[in-house]
Amino acid sequence: MSNLELSLYVENKRVSLYPDENINLNQAVQSLKDLTKVFTDFTRSFNIPANDVNNSIFKHYYDAQIINGFDARVKVDARIEIGGITLKKGKLQLNGASLKSNVATMYSVEFFGDTIKIKDLIGEDKLKDLDLSAYNHNYDATTILSGISENSAILNGDIKYPLLSYKRRYVFEDTQLDNENDINVKYDDAFTSGIDWQELKPAIKVNAIRLAIQEQYELTFSEDFFSRDEFTKLYMTLGNGENVGKTLSPKLIINYNETTVRDQGDFPQFKIEMQAVTNVSGSLSSYRVVFEVNGERVFQSPFFVGNSSVRYDSDFEFNYGNYDYGYFIEAQSNLDVSTRCLFSVEKDFNGPDVIRDQTFTASVPSPKVQITNIIGDLKIVDWFAGIVKAFNLVIVPLEDGTLYVNDLQSWYDSGQIRDISQYVDIESLNIDRGKLYREINFGYEEQESLLANQYESQFAQQFGGFENKLLGLSSDETLEIILPFENPQFERISDEVQYGFIVDKDLDPYENKPFLIYIFLKTLNQDNLLGFSGDTYFSFNKVNTPTHAINLVDGFSAQFNAEFNEFNGAILSDNFYSRGYDDYFNDLFSTQRRQFTLNANLPITLSSDLQLNDRLVFGGNRYLIDNIDTNLLTGVSKLVLLNDIFTSLRDFSTSRLSPNSGSFVTGGDSFYIGGNNVNATTNQSWIAISNPTLSSGENLQFTLQENNTGSSRVGLITVNDELSNPTLIITQN
């Protein structure tokens, strides 16, 4: 590659380069500690001459007086070519210019491979900034009953109401019980009350949030991972124990924007009084009055039926300035009201000054669950990072703009095996021990729910979390992967009923963070029917059960540790850690793990096609790529590789031989990845297989009898592994 011409193009204009300028292209696998990074290639900063060609492209950037000059704040389209072959497409960033004796001499630039930085696109936006209006739904007993007892009644199952209580403890007994702290949910025709539909909260499919992100920020994700059951069936809870009733649709009566200025001698802060006198006509629906200051709820009345009068008095807690004061009414069904709104300001103890006193009429609509009102207070990028970390995903930009998303192991499985033996400089090879961590910790935000809190007190680690301290290793580094969710523990209260009690250790509601769950529709037998308090009290025999396991009793579990299944006591060994991290850390801490640093002169046809998930073979061994740093002037690549001690394939993986065809004279070999202790056979007597029994990671070796036939001949070797049964096509001239 060193004898080929190097070219750089910016917006299809060829840039003039120094003939001896070193340009290094770096390709690196993402850091495990920063899983929100998108894979990208980049160059170290390099210089180009400030000659006529480049001055034209960069519009004499060194001259700040030029109007509408080159905008160095943004990256521009660029590509690197070697010998006329496109090596990389991406963006060029102009870092600056240098002058000598007031004459421009050079520009400093940097090249970045095609990539989309999700964090840059989304910024500081939160989940509540997403357009999730398609998932709003009616808030009434009939709708909520369908959400808790049917599989796809609300928006084809994108919204469900799992059996979770954020207020009262559920019991399953033979006596009527209904008080402030406990409710008997077992159905009995002699009872009068059961599950209160107004105490239930919904959950939304995680994939619905992903699709909203994709739509709003014009991203295109591949479906490689996002189409799998462990993701498509996953839900995130909405609402928390503190926002009781916030699912109602607030009707704005009036919003006052007022500026309060301090008078001489006044207190350093002022207080407000907000009053609402409401007269109801027509329907006698229950309703409540809500006051907000700058969009924050400062007062919420109890529910009324008929006329009401409420008042909110703040302490002297407001700094002087401009505020919005909102008057709202939330009703359980359609309601017509006439509301007198009074607003007062008090600057000292001489009494309030009434600033506003107006009466308004309004029609309050039937309530709907507004998803953005009850979704967790999370930044979108933090939520997305949580999903990436949970499943150990990689995100790779493709040439068509699609973001390829898959778990780490599947990404490696899709790579190719490439033999680079003939290009490696074996004279210089450094071998290091590789990265080590003294401690690894996988978990969640602080666990406040009652049972999870008790679990942590008893076992000194989070429920669903995974900790491993590796004593004796000569490393001080700790790896922590913390998801921005909680992970409560559920409990089974009858043969067939399991629910979640989401209160703190004092049995009080709290502002819990959202959590990830699966929801299983459980059919109940006659002895386990549940009671439901809607307009009347009645029974239902199917319930959407919250569970960590995808199939309620077994299957993949949305947590890190192999916990006991709350429903049947089985060990949930298939989980976030076993799927996404177990192989990685087994290899990382293996006594066989080595890191190799060496030089190679790769041909442009190989360099331009090489992917970071490809496995490289030389000297009869196989390696994973950690980093490639290529000097584009000399063509020499510095490779940082890890020996591949991966020994087994995933169930959905395929086996292969590399190469799978070739022309040979006396013999050769082909690198095999697939099963273990499998047999290789041939259809020709002139082919002799040196090692007919082989395992994944070994070379299939063979010899050939001399060809005296006067013409070329073709034969096959087949590895009979019951995976892909890969074949090697052998041509002997």
Which tens digits make up the pLDDT trace of 580-609? 888 877 777 777 788 889 999 988 778 878
Buried b (16+ CB within 10 A) or exposed e, 367-393: bbbbbbbbbbebbbbbbbbbbbbbbbb
| Cβ-contact 732, 665 below 8 angstroms | yes
Is residue 108 predicted with pLDDT exceeding 80? Answer: yes
Residue in this structure with the two tokens 């919420």, named with its chain if needed: 300
| Cβ-contact 616, 420 below 8 angstroms | yes
Whole-angstrom distance, CA of residue 31 vs CA of residue 394: 10
Is residue 265 predicted with pLDDT exceeding 50? Answer: yes
> What local confidence, expressed as pLDDT, does residue 30 receive?
58
Is residue 362 predicted with pLDDT exceeding 90? Answer: yes
| Cβ-contact 529, 187 below 8 angstroms | yes
Stretch 113-133: mean pLDDT? 82
Name the token pair of 497: 């009923």
Nearest to 188 by CA among 179, 177, 196: 177
Is residue 647 predicted with pLDDT exceeding 50? Answer: no
Whole-angstrom distance, CA of residue 4 vs CA of residue 466: 52
Is residue 131 predicted with pLDDT exceeding 60? Answer: yes
Whole-angstrom distance, CA of residue 88 vs CA of residue 233: 38
> What local confidence, expressed as pLDDT, does residue 402 receive?
85
Whole-angstrom distance, CA of residue 461 vs CA of residue 563: 12
Name the token pair of 4: 């080929």
Whole-angstrom distance, CA of residue 220 vs CA of residue 210: 11
| Cβ-contact 625, 614 below 8 angstroms | yes
The letter for the amino acid at 245 is G
Residue 387: phi, psi to the nearest 5?
A: -65, -45
| Cβ-contact 369, 330 below 8 angstroms | no
Q: pLDDT band at residue 477, thresholds of 50, 70 and 90?
A: confident
In this structure, is the dihedral angle defined by the CA atoms of residues 380, 383, 389 and 394, taken in order, positive or negative? Answer: negative
DSSP 659-718: SSEEE-SSEEEEEEES-SSEEEEES-TTEEES-SEE-TT-EEEEEE----SSS-EEEEEE
Residue 54: phi, psi to the nearest 5?
A: -75, -30
Phi/psi-derived region of residue 705, left when phi > 0, alpha when psi is between -120 and 50, beta in every other case:
beta
Whole-angstrom distance, CA of residue 407 vs CA of residue 627: 20
How is the chain split into domains, by residue range? Answer: 6-122, 251-366, 656-732
Residue in this structure with the two tokens 């070697």, named with its chain if needed: 82
Is residue 117 predicted with pLDDT exceeding 80? Answer: no
> What local confidence, expressed as pLDDT, does residue 532 receive?
96
Q: pLDDT band at residue 334, thresholds of 50, 70 and 90?
A: confident
Nearest to 27 by CA among 384, 389, 397: 397
**Taking the CB of residue 131, how many other CB atoms lie within 10 A of it?**
11
Q: pLDDT band at residue 1, thresholds of 50, 70 and 90?
A: low
> What local confidence, expressed as pLDDT, does residue 648 receive?
44
Q: Give pLDDT tens digits for 528-541.
A: 999 999 889 999 99
Q: Is 290 helix (H, G, I), strand (E, B) or coil?
A: strand
Stretch 256-285: mean pLDDT? 91
Stretch 487-507: mean pLDDT? 95
Whole-angstrom distance, CA of residue 99 vs CA of residue 47: 13
Residue 732: phi, psi to the nearest 5?
A: -120, 115
> What local confidence, expressed as pLDDT, does residue 37 receive?
52
Nearest to 272 by CA among 359, 356, 360, 358: 356
Q: Give bridge partners of residue 328 from the DSSP assignment.
A: 252, 290
DSSP 559-606: SSS-PBPTTT--B--SBHHHHHTHHHHHHHT-TT--EEEEEEE--HHH
Whole-angstrom distance, CA of residue 40 vs CA of residue 27: 7
Distances in Å between the Cα of 553 and the Cα atoms of 140, 520, 528, 560, 570 are 32, 10, 18, 17, 7
Q: pLDDT band at residue 471, thresholds of 50, 70 and 90?
A: low
**What DSSP state is assigned to residue 143?**
H
159-163, 276-280, 381-385, 697-701, range with the lowest pLDDT: 697-701
Is residue 358 predicted with pLDDT exceeding 90? Answer: yes
> What local confidence, expressed as pLDDT, does residue 653 receive?
53
Name the token pair of 56: 């034209």
Whole-angstrom distance, CA of residue 711 vs CA of residue 108: 59
Q: pLDDT band at residue 357, thresholds of 50, 70 and 90?
A: very high
Residue in this structure with the two tokens 């060029």, named with its chain if needed: 92
Q: Is 230 helix (H, G, I), strand (E, B) or coil?
A: helix
Q: Give pLDDT tens digits for 178-229.
A: 999 999 999 999 999 999 998 999 999 999 999 999 999 988 999 999 999 9
- Percentage of the chain beyond pLDDT 70 is 94
Stretch 643-671: mean pLDDT? 72
> What local confidence, expressed as pLDDT, does residue 635 receive?
81
Phi/psi-derived region of residue 112, left when phi > 0, alpha when psi is between -120 and 50, beta in every other case:
beta
Is residue 527 predicted with pLDDT exceeding 90? Answer: yes
> Of all residues in the chain, what percent are helix, strand and coil, respectively (each to 5)?
15, 40, 45
Q: pLDDT band at residue 247, thresholds of 50, 70 and 90?
A: low
Q: Is 6 helix (H, G, I), strand (E, B) or coil?
A: strand
Whole-angstrom distance, CA of residue 640 vs CA of residue 645: 16
Q: Is 355 exposed, middle or buried (0-12, 13-18, 19+ CB in 10 A)?
A: middle
Residue in this structure with the two tokens 């009036």, named with its chain if needed: 254
Instruction: Say whether domain 656-732 belongs to CATH 3.90.1150.10.
Output: no
521's CB contacts (< 8 A; 6+ apart) are 150, 151, 542, 543, 544, 545
Phi/psi-derived region of residue 306, left when phi > 0, alpha when psi is between -120 and 50, beta in every other case:
left
More confident residue, 201 or 427: 201
> ∠ CA(53), CA(54), CA(60), 5° rounding?
115
Cis peptide before 514 (omega within 30 of 0): no
**What DSSP state is assigned to residue 445?**
S
Stretch 701-705: mean pLDDT? 93
Stretch 9-31: mean pLDDT? 83
Is residue 98 predicted with pLDDT exceeding 50? Answer: yes
Nearest to 288 by CA among 190, 356, 367: 367
The CATH number that domain 251-366 falls under is 2.60.120
Q: pLDDT band at residue 293, thresholds of 50, 70 and 90?
A: very high
> What local confidence, expressed as pLDDT, does residue 244 receive?
56
Q: Is 723 helix (H, G, I), strand (E, B) or coil?
A: coil
Q: Give pLDDT tens digits for 379-416.
A: 999 999 899 999 999 888 777 778 889 988 888 888 88
| Cβ-contact 502, 512 below 8 angstroms | yes
User: Which of 237-246, 473-482, 590-599 reaches the highest mean pLDDT?
Assistant: 590-599
Whole-angstrom distance, CA of residue 510 vs CA of residue 244: 10
Is residue 729 predicted with pLDDT exceeding 60? Answer: yes
Q: Give pLDDT tens digits for 28-77.
A: 775 433 444 555 667 778 999 999 999 999 999 999 888 888 998 888 99
**Beta strand pairing call for 368-369 and 203-205:** unpaired
